[in-house]
């Protein structure tokens, strides 16, 4: 009831759970509960992680260039 029909759900959580003697990564969103309601749901793992890494690298580059120009 927290997701409106057609909403885009971006799951940024990441948790490691133990299941049948193995560990796996899951997000904070209950995929099965919102799959029929949401218009789109980002996957975990592999959803926002690559974008986060790209943004961190861009910020690091900008900081290095700013420091060098001083």
Residue 27 lies in a domain: yes
Query: d(Cα 30, Cα 10) in Å, to the nearest integer?
Result: 12
Residue 1 lies in a domain: no
Domain range spanning residue 24? Answer: 8-68
Residue 18 lies in a domain: yes
Query: d(Cα 29, Cα 11) in Å, to the nearest integer?
Result: 6
CATH number where 48 lies: 3.40.50.720
Q: Tell me how crowded residue 12 is: count the other CB atoms within 10 A of its CB.
A: 13
Residue 13 lies in a domain: yes
pTM over 0.75: no
Domains of the chain: total: 1
Residue 2 lies in a domain: no
Share of the chain above pLDDT 70, in %: 100
Which residues have a Cβ under 8 Å from the Cβ of 3 and sit 6 or more positions away?
9, 34, 37, 38
- 25-57: pLDDT as tens digits: 888 999 899 999 999 998 888 788 888 889 999
């Amino acid at each position: 009831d927290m997701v409106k029909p057609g909403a885009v759900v971006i799951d940024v959580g990441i948790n490691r759970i133990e299941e049948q003697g193995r560990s796996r990564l899951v997000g904070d969103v209950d995929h099965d509960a919102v799959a029929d309601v949401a218009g789109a749901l980002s996957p975990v793992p592999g959803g926002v992680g690559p974008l986060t890494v790209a943004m961190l690298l861009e910020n690091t580059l900008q900081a290095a260039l700013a420091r060098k120009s001083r």
